[in-house]
Structure 1
């Protein structure tokens, strides 16, 4: 028969144990109630690495650099020897998740506020973006440089940290521009194309070779007169995971007949080659170039500008033989392989079209997105 239980005596609790328990409870409550990220849910709140500050002026130009202070003798430390393992640089269809650095390069003759405003709206984390500009040394270039520097100062000094770019590089051309005027009517005259585009090639190459650092994954070529793009431009183009990918460039304008805003194709340098163009090239001199969009030189190429279909898939792809430079996302390895912008007749092509040809000769294919639009400034 079971005996009835006597009174139970509890062991006296150690005060130190109670204190530790209270501290643990408070820590758990704080951990559970603290926010997991910044408010707003913007793409810039993604956990991206802080930009690495360059330790010396000879470090990669795409890393921010702060000039070191001299010692008491007025001397600074000698340049370091730095090793870079390019095998650790990823170039993927998910650039944000992989913290991939993007270099946005813009040859600029005129400054458009709409261009800068659109740049600020890009949702790719600005901490991973380096901007590079090259401007001519003339009156118009000086004015554009002043306006650009004013906006850079405003953004980098007073904007929220998430809106500031990793670093910004401004270059000035060491050669005179071939045209006295940058008006659209002058730029597009047929007789001005070869000298104008040769000068553009030199500017692009100077900008590229000066700014392409070992940590760059993607290069986005964006003309200074592209004033409207989708905010997710970089992610949208990168998701195709192509060596070279270009959107379709249109222009918005007021149609007097319709009494409403409308849009029209603008960039005719995105094309698939044709037998007619190849035959024309075979009869040309070695320094002659083929031009697109001129009635005096009918090539009958398939132009991406006319492939646009608002009802079709926005991300439909077409293979291209020539590209324009309005907007083009390029894997950095394409440039590292040696693909540049020929300022001379390269298979009778020059500048961006010559670049596409050179890239193809190196094994890199260009891809166009006829239904993905960016917009050019309307003068």
Structure 2
């Protein structure tokens, strides 16, 4: 059979190349990996950190470049344009990165499930944890790693930009983490100084140049609104804390009820100032103890629990803040506000942080009618 004029004039090389292209096109169409990667996965790959030394605020690249001789290439010089970094009341729309930091003694499944429900785009959230090297800390680390591995290998939209897990390089001052033991007044100074050290280690290790906001979220916070990040950043405050309550079974009514839990968010009083003025340099004031009645105005008691004047957007100025759920503009930390592990104007840890922030010219705020809930031990 005679070939047509067009085929007789076609080069065999052209036919071979056309066949290869056709086979490649068919393979691309039927390759399951090409259709299973959603656009968000590709965007995350494009948004990966520039090199392995990049601060953990972006996804890390899985493969690092190598030189022609097979050795690992040195990390490049990276320029960070921090003047372009924003902290606004439309954080999600602007893609502002949030760093959620959690000092963890025990792993609560409710904490992780609540974290997973946050509606803020997870691709803009980095997580950081610090755990002690104790038997409880070891068990919590194993449980945390399992939860992280499951999430980071699951649906792309559920994955966080990066996760950092640190272990404390110092022994905790208390061997028992029983709630009653933790809250004894004689244990507070050593305990909270150690907590300050842990928070600072976590902060200084994980805060990167792409971070706009830092959300301190305690490991025993098991219930928050799913819009927690959007709700807090919408106020555009340098330091903002919601009211921390706890659900419990009321023995008097035999029904579920709520009660205040965190008493570390307050407005200063003349009595508190007078007590501090008569203290030695290494003494600290504590809130919520009858032995040190400061008569401060506590955020816990400002809530409109009767529902008559309830307003979740109502804000009040504070002099002290707790750390159960604390939203901070990253620039406040960059300017030097940390968690003093030593008496700072007779305050330590989160209350000392509030004092530092105020000394740097920032104002601390609280939301009396916006609630997060603490695990009930």
Q: TM-score, normalised by structure 1?
A: 0.86
Q: Which residue of 2 aligns with 1:279?
A: 274
1:217 alignment partner, SS class = strand
Q: Output aligned runs, 1:162-311, within 5 Å.
A: 162-310=157-305, 311=307
Contact kept in structure 2, 1:56 and 1:67, CA below 8 Å: no
Larger radius of gyration: 1
Alpha-carbon distance in structure 2 between the residues aligned to 1:71 and 1:318: 57
Measured at CA, do residues 316 and 267 of structure 1 come closer, stay the same or move farther in structure 2, by a change above 3 Å?
Answer: same
What's the offset of the Cα at 1:64?
2.1
Query: Which residues in structure 2 correspond to 1:106-145 (within 5 Å)?
Result: 106-145=102-141
SS of the aligned residue for 2:151 comes to helix
Provide the residue aligned with 1:321 in structure 2: 319
Q: For residue 50 of structure 1, give the secondary structure of its aligned residue in structure 2.
A: helix
Q: String of CA shifts for 1:114-147, please: whole Å, max 9, x gaps.
A: 0000000000000100000000011111100000
Given the superposition, is the C-alpha separation of residues 362 and 49 from structure 1 closer, same or farther in structure 2, using an over 3 Å criterion?
farther
- How far is the alpha carbon of 1:362 from its aligned partner? 0.2
Q: Which has the higher helix share?
A: 2
SS in 2 for 1:251: strand
Matched-pair contact (CA < 8 Å) for 2:102–2:217: yes
1:242-277 deviations in Å (ceiling 9; x for gaps)? 000000000000012201100100000000000000
Give 5+ residue unaligned stretches, structure 1: 1-44
**Cross-structure match for 2:149:** 153
CA–CA distance in structure 1, aligned partners of residues 239 and 185 of structure 2: 27
1:335 maps to 333
Partner of 1:93: 89
1:67 Cα deviation after fit: 4.7
Q: Distance in 2 between the 1:304 and 1:99 partners?
A: 31
Among 34, 45, 50, the alignment partner of 2:44 is: 50
Runs of 4 or more above 6 Å deviation: none
Unpaired runs of 5+ residues, structure 2, are 1-38
Aligned partners of 1:49 and 1:99 also within 8 Å = no
Give the C-alpha shift of residue 75 in structure 1.
Answer: 1.0
The equivalent of 1:361 in structure 2 is 359
Tell me the alpha carbon deviations over residues 51-110 of structure 1, each in whole angstroms, 9 at most, x when there is no partner: 721232221222222352655744111121111111111100000111100000000010
Taking the aligned partners of 2:212 and 2:50, their CA distance within structure 1 comes to: 21
In structure 1, how many angstroms separate the alpha carbons of the residues matched to 2:327 and 2:363? Answer: 13
Query: 1:69 and 1:334 mapped to 2: Cα distance?
Result: 36
SS at match of 2:129: strand
8 Å Cα contact 1:246-1:323 kept in structure 2:
yes
Q: What is the rounded CA distance, in whole Å, between the counterparts of 2:337 and 2:219 in structure 1?
A: 22
Q: CA RMSD in A?
A: 1.7
Q: Which has the higher mean CA deviation after the structures are superposed, 66-75 or 161-170?
A: 66-75
